[in-house]
Structure 1
């Protein structure tokens, strides 16, 4: 592995310090209002009225400066498309033989693409050195942007996380998992279109021109995952002091700008509130869950909050989810947004290239990092 730059080290250390501070109560604050995950119906944001779009943007701003999470409805993606990708996840994890999965193992990839067994990563890098850290039970499959999945067609300039002019995706064969790529592509294309629309609303929410991010989304980073969480063997309440013996995904914050999460009906997502309480995310039928990720928190100079969350499957039902982690063009150099710098809040982060930031965060989670 190449020697890390000072910026890469800073990115990893800053992210880990933020996570550690939240998990050790250092930054917990008491709130007079109960912690809630608001529902934002964005149907009116597809209208030609700028005022309508600004009204939705104002709701997004409120959510991103408080909970860091919101339910998204009125998004326009059909329930059929959503259920097809969840069914594909079940088919992949349950029917593809172990030896076929091993051939797709993420250890063969420079970009953490392919099949990810539970024992290969800890989503919180600090857990590698924690003697009492429970093994995560999740199993995953990871992929990223391809121009063929882009409803805009792409601009032919896609670069990987490290700047290489390649595409790092790996796929099971059509023979092994019929319809896999077709279903992935259909879902990814629609969610990518939604992500670009959302980023325009994010721009308005930050007092920027609506098109501010457009030129940074022409060949964007967009890592997605199929995730499988086995049913719990003991769905009893957990002792918070002992964490969880069957934790699906450990306490963490996401890395990119924001996440669009689709999950099956089984419960499991828990959010760490500002007053340091784990709160189960409520279910809203037909919604996606959106959350601010670390790169956007960094980009906004801390104005938008990247919220710590985890997955604990306490039921006897299996759980599937499909998170889509949206970024910008990986070759884009980013510095603090101008609308987020004030005399009282000067820029606290050095410029960093988008892909380098995310790759360094991913490397920190792997067994052989």
Structure 2
């Protein structure tokens, strides 16, 4: 189960550190190795489109029906689209416009003032040559920001802390005179997807045979890192459908947190690793978000829900803009296997970890070793890179 650690004994720091540094790399290695064998089929693999509008119904039966579809997706591909989510089109379009404005209207000296090398939490501006791990095909430019009470429509509970437990505001924002209206548009979008993420967590609870409000107390001051991403067209466009012989690498990773909500422009880029080791190119569905299970939810469910390996490759002739929102629980939460996900006599596959410290250590690993774990942690034949927050 998951517990709030404010009134509980703290776990040894070594446990979370070890899991972040070695456990994550081991999971990625095993997933890539299994896929490389090509001895499994993709018969059950699908990325369904789920209309979640019935989940806003006062009928528990309606909400459970949506949760059942989510459960199926989480135990097969680990990915699904959602429609009927209630986030207005003007808000979705607005944040993609802000991503384009930030990348092309903000001067280089203003961007440099926001460089993430000045921020211990990986927030701020990432130039494309700062974190690229796959050459020209994966050049990207990024602006990262995280939860703050001003972005939360509820106003928060006053207990938010950064990944390391400190209280100061970690976000770095462009000045309004440099990019008028940017913060207001970001705030409107962030508030909308934060509310949606909390709603989705209730559906995840139902899908796991838990009380619908099980996670509510764990998302009162949650972790929620968002990114504005720009992928320019590659110098040498590639086939939209990757070949079966293509290397598994090119930024292959799984996400750290509970789940990710992805909004993207119409240019394809997200590719999902199927059980067979082949890549599935995610289609663009207007108005939909793509949701994927991340490592915390996989650990909580003892592996029942799949934190699926994926990557981003812009193979086309147009720029790609995307806004992933990596939703976590309150950073002072301990994550350990849920009671409904352990059979009698079964032991948990993963050790309990502290949410914030785990994410911080994963982020530290990606920056210290060039957006990946040390060379010996990943088999070069598989080409995998661990945990880089792309999309």
Tell me the equivalent position of 2:27: 18
TM-score by length of 2: 0.86
1:160 pairs, out of 152, 162, 181, with 162
The CA deviation at 1:5 is 2.4
Q: Secondary structure at the match of 2:357?
A: helix
Tell me the equivalent position of 1:362: 363
- Give the 3 Å change call, closer, same or farther, for CA 178–32 of structure 1 in structure 2: closer
Tell me the equivalent position of 1:286: 287
- 1:134·1:244 contact (CA, 8 Å) conserved in 2? no
The CA deviation at 1:342 is 1.5
2:151 pairs, out of 149, 152, 155, with 149
- 2:123·2:145 contact (CA, 8 Å) conserved in 1? yes
Tell me the equivalent position of 2:224: 222
TM-score by length of 1: 0.91
- Give the 3 Å change call, closer, same or farther, for CA 201–100 of structure 1 in structure 2: same
Tell me the equivalent position of 2:101: 91
Tell me the equivalent position of 1:335: 336
1:209 pairs, out of 208, 211, 214, with 211
Tell me the equivalent position of 2:253: 252
The CA deviation at 1:7 is 2.5
CA offsets, 1:316-355, max 9 Å, x none?
Answer: 1000000000001011122111111124642122221110
Runs of 4+ in 1 over 6 A off after TM superposition: none
More divergent stretch after superposition (151-160 vs 232-241)? 232-241
The CA deviation at 1:120 is 2.5
- 1:120·1:366 contact (CA, 8 Å) conserved in 2? no
- 2:20·2:358 contact (CA, 8 Å) conserved in 1? yes
Tell me the equivalent position of 2:77: 67
- 2:248·2:277 contact (CA, 8 Å) conserved in 1? no
Tell me the equivalent position of 2:124: 114
> Separation in 2 of the partners of 1:180 and 1:152?
21
The CA deviation at 1:239 is 6.3
- Give the 3 Å change call, closer, same or farther, for CA 368–17 of structure 1 in structure 2: closer
> How many residue pairs end up in the alignment?
355
Tell me the equivalent position of 1:50: 60
Unaligned runs of 5+ in 1: 128-132
More divergent stretch after superposition (355-364 vs 15-24)? 15-24
> Separation in 1 of the partners of 2:334 and 2:79?
26
> Separation in 1 of the partners of 2:275 and 2:42?
11
> Separation in 1 of the partners of 2:260 and 2:64?
21
1:196 pairs, out of 198, 210, 229, with 198
Is 1:234 aligned to residue 236 of structure 2? yes
| Aligned pairs (5 A) from 1:159-178 | 159-178=161-180
The CA deviation at 1:110 is 1.1
> Separation in 1 of the partners of 2:15 and 2:346?
23
- Give the 3 Å change call, closer, same or farther, for CA 98–207 of structure 1 in structure 2: same
The CA deviation at 1:213 is 0.3
- Give the 3 Å change call, closer, same or farther, for CA 4–353 of structure 1 in structure 2: closer
> Separation in 1 of the partners of 2:345 and 2:130?
43
| Aligned pairs (5 A) from 1:255-270 | 255-270=256-271
> Separation in 1 of the partners of 2:349 and 2:337?
8
- 2:35·2:274 contact (CA, 8 Å) conserved in 1? no
Q: Secondary structure at the match of 1:159?
A: coil
> Separation in 2 of the partners of 1:18 and 1:368?
18
Unaligned runs of 5+ in 2: 1-11, 371-391
> Separation in 2 of the partners of 1:347 and 1:258?
20
> Separation in 1 of the partners of 2:277 and 2:246?
16
> Separation in 2 of the partners of 1:53 and 1:345?
30
Tell me the equivalent position of 1:139: 141
- 2:265·2:322 contact (CA, 8 Å) conserved in 1? yes
Tell me the equivalent position of 1:130: none
> Separation in 2 of the partners of 1:199 and 1:171?
29
CA offsets, 1:280-306, max 9 Å, x none?
Answer: 012222100000001111111111000
